[in-house]
Amino acid sequence: MAMRWTLAQAQALFDKPFLELMFEAQQVHRQHFDPRQVQVSTLLSIKTGACPEDCKYCPQSARYKTGLEAERLMEVEEVLASARKAKAAGSSRFCMGAAWKNPSDRDMPYLEKMVQGVKALGMETCMTLGTLSDAQAQRLGEAGLDFYNHNLDTSPEFYGNIITTRTYQERLDTLEKVREAGIKVCSGGIVGLGEEVRDRAALLVQLANLPVAPESVPINMLVKVKGTPLAENDDVDPFDFIRTIAVARIMMPTSHVRLSAGREQMSEQTQAMCFMAGANSIFYGCKLLTTPNPEEDKDLLLFRKLGLNPEHTHTDAGDNAQQQALTRQLVNADSARYYNAAP
Ligand code: SF4
């Protein structure tokens, strides 16, 4: 049976001297993963804005004036065209996000077609659609959905300061339904909401102590969007962010820990330290939902500088097309760098 973590144990990890924590995280990481492999996902917003929820960090909430233009659910063909581009760019997982409290049953046939279509391209599929009913989770599972993303965001104690329209328990219930439907779980949180270190520890305890830890754990740095209530929050010290990644790696040794939103604001050195701390998944592409993601070339260059490779998934085993596409781009990006630097 998986180890159950206590809050005191998690806090003790956060309290470790930084370099000791990094060393431990890297050791745990190497026991379970090839440290040069990073899983690469692309995220597409299939329905943007006008969300009835009040998540205080989110520009997609209808309650905040952020200038974001709301869009209806995309057509299936448009989604598949984006997935083809993501695959050609070397992405192995395609994540589709909709700003909803929950999907309506009317939308389910379209969502099922999206899952089936993206899978037929040989990519892993992930969706994030809000709260699910048992029947909806089952339908997505039967359509072949590989992952469902639903973040816990923060500790149960701090949660009420950030969201009031959906309870923590509702989130846990959705995660349970997803599991029961045979879909893998992607769930993590955000650093920089105004929470204490204790809350970060408590969030990781919640995730690590689920009956099965999430296969994918996104750790986001708050992207402060003008017009949202958290726009003026204090910056998070990058070391505190890296610490959170390291503790997540130690507490969930076999999960993919994803360096997610907020990467745009991070230096290459901070990102490198995140990989050192055990992050082994990123979003790659021009859009991370509606917040900007580093341009693709910057990612490719960083991979090259650090000697990292995109990870294969079961869906592309025996077919090196994706790896070759990304490797080709890495080589091209690298020659461009030297070309530009030439006297
Ligand atoms: S985080 Fe999701 S649920 Fe919350 S307001 Fe944004 S889109 Fe809606």
Ligand 1: residue of 45, 60, 71 to mutate (most ligand atoms within 8 A of CB) is 60
Q: What is the pLDDT of residues 51-102, one digit of tens each?
A: 888 888 888 888 888 777 777 888 889 899 888 888 877 778 889 998 888 8
User: What is the pLDDT averaged over residues 246-255?
Assistant: 97
User: What is the pLDDT averaged over residues 128-141?
Assistant: 94
Question: Would you give the distance in Å from CA 283 to the centre of its chain?
Answer: 7
d(CA 238, CA 269) in angstroms, rounded, equals 10
Other beta carbons within 10 angstroms of residue 282's beta carbon come to 26
Please indicate whether residue 341 or residue 288 has the higher confidence score (pLDDT): 288
CA dihedral sign of residues 224, 226, 231, 235: positive
| Inter-residue contact 214 to 186 (CB < 8 Å) | yes
* Annotated binding residue 286: no
The pLDDT of residue 294 is above 60 = no
Q: Is residue 322 part of a domain?
A: yes
Q: Is residue 340 part of a domain?
A: no
Distance 285 CA to ligand 1 centre (A): 21
Distance 61 CA to ligand 1 centre (A): 6
- Residue 291 belongs to domain spanning: 7-333
* pLDDT score, position 330: 44
Distance 99 CA to ligand 1 centre (A): 6
Please indicate whether residue 74 or residue 140 has the higher confidence score (pLDDT): 140
Name the closest-CA residue to atom 3, ligand 1.
Answer: 53
Question: Would you give the distance in Å from CA 46 to the centre of its chain?
Answer: 16
The pLDDT of residue 261 is above 90 = no
DSSP bridge pairs for 128: 97
**What is the four-CA torsion angle of 276, 281, 285, 287, rounded to 10 degrees?**
-100
Q: Is residue 339 part of a domain?
A: no
Tokens 């996902």 correspond to what residue? 41
* pLDDT score, position 316: 44
Closest atom of ligand 1 to CA, residue 166 = 3
* pLDDT score, position 183: 96
| Inter-residue contact 324 to 59 (CB < 8 Å) | no
Distance 337 CA to ligand 1 centre (A): 38
Residues with CB under 6 Å of ligand 1 are 51, 53, 55, 58, 60-61, 99, 130
* pLDDT score, position 70: 77
How many residues are present in the chain? 343
User: What is the pLDDT averaged over residues 202-222?
Assistant: 95
Burial bucket for residue 94 (CB in 10 Å: 0-12, 13-18, 19+): buried
The pLDDT of residue 290 is above 90 = no
86-95, 122-131, 215-224, 307-316: lowest mean pLDDT where?
A: 307-316
Please indicate whether residue 44 or residue 181 has the higher confidence score (pLDDT): 181
Helices (H), the chain: 7-15, 18-32, 76-88, 108-120, 134-143, 156-159, 168-180, 197-208, 238-251, 268-276, 296-306, 321-341
Q: Is residue 76 part of a domain?
A: yes
Report the chain's C-alpha Rg in angstroms: 19
d(CA 307, CA 115) in angstroms, rounded, equals 32
* pLDDT score, position 339: 31
Q: Is residue 338 part of a domain?
A: no
Grade residue 13 by pLDDT with cuts at 50, 70 and 90: very high
Distance 46 CA to ligand 1 centre (A): 13
Q: What is the mean pLDDT of the chain?
A: 85
Q: Is residue 67 part of a domain?
A: yes
d(CA 270, CA 242) in angstroms, rounded, equals 8
Closest atom of ligand 1 to CA, residue 98 = 7
| Inter-residue contact 249 to 256 (CB < 8 Å) | no
d(CA 271, CA 4) in angstroms, rounded, equals 29
Distances 283 to 33, 165, 178, 194, 296 between C-alpha atoms, Å: 19, 28, 22, 24, 10
Mind telling me the catalytic residues? 51, 55, 58, 95, 126, 186, 258
| Inter-residue contact 217 to 247 (CB < 8 Å) | no
Q: What is the DSSP string of 213-233?
A: --SEEEEEEP---TTSTTTTP
Q: Is residue 341 part of a domain?
A: no
Name the closest-CA residue to atom 7, ligand 1.
Answer: 99
Name the closest-CA residue to atom 5, ligand 1.
Answer: 61
Q: Which CATH number characterizes residue 37's domain?
A: 3.20.20.70
Ligand 1: residue of 44, 48, 58 to mutate (most ligand atoms within 8 A of CB) is 58
Q: What is the pLDDT of residues 17-37, one digit of tens each?
A: 999 999 999 999 999 999 999
* Annotated binding residue 274: no
* pLDDT score, position 285: 60
Ligand 1: residue of 47, 61, 170, 187 to mutate (most ligand atoms within 8 A of CB) is 61
Overall number of domains in the chain? 1
d(CA 3, CA 251) in angstroms, rounded, equals 9
The pLDDT of residue 335 is above 50 = no
| Inter-residue contact 281 to 38 (CB < 8 Å) | yes
Q: Is residue 175 part of a domain?
A: yes
DSSP bridge pairs for 333: none
Of 264-268, 274-278, 287-291, give the range with the top mean pLDDT: 274-278
Q: What is the 3-state secondary structure (H, E, C) of 132-160?
A: CCHHHHHHHHHHCCCEEECCCECCHHHHC
Please indicate whether residue 248 or residue 60 has the higher confidence score (pLDDT): 248
